[in-house]
Structure 1
Amino acid sequence: MSRHASVTGPGELVRRRILRKLEQRSRYRYVQPEVFWVDGAWLIRSPCCSRNIDPDGGVIDIARLEQPEPAVWRLYARDHAAGRWVWQASAGRIDELLTLVADDAHRVFWP
């Protein structure tokens, strides 16, 4: 019996790659982040476990990844106080940026 992967649309492989890397994160491993394609970028959202941003523990924006050119990825963190995205890094490969999100020693992405 052979197994076949099901891909539901363009970009689904990138979404799965992001989710797989998020499983390796060091912070809030007990919550399930979500990844959406929104306004030309990948948006990572997660329940707010620390309650620093949302006292009720609601879902908050964590990171935004966009690819303005085929060989360039940009990573943004959410400035929740200002209500805007703040550029953090650029790289040729998405994996380099996902490592920053997963490690997050300075609590830039997972406040």
Structure 2
Amino acid sequence: MATSPTSPHRPAQSTHLGGCGNSALSHDLHELGYTDVTSIDFSPACIAAMRTRYAHCPGLRWAVMDIRALAFPDAAFDVVLEKGTLDVLMVEETDPWDVSPQAVASMHRVLAEGKVTTVGL
């Protein structure tokens, strides 16, 4: 994962990864120095596997949760990453550019004011 002058590398930021699946992204962030990463997925089996796989990485937290109803306090994170979860939520949508209002509202609510949301399309 590369950084550039236009996307400063700030590992101290609290980061939320929604719909982590079995991706190594949480671990990759940890390897770059991000030590406050919370990853969620709807699948209990997936989260159990990720907890086991990355048990050696302090600062990586895992939770079974629906991205449309995040159980975190308002403004809990400096960075909210979404890298494909919306694809799953939009399977039944007729317009691929009309993102689930529940998911967007939920991600926005847990993002600290003036901070960053990244949505992967």
TM-score by length of 1: 0.28
Q: Could you say which structure has the greater relative contact order, defined with CA pairs below 8 angstroms and 6 or more residues apart?
A: 2
More strand by share: 1
More helix by share: 2
TM-score by length of 2: 0.27
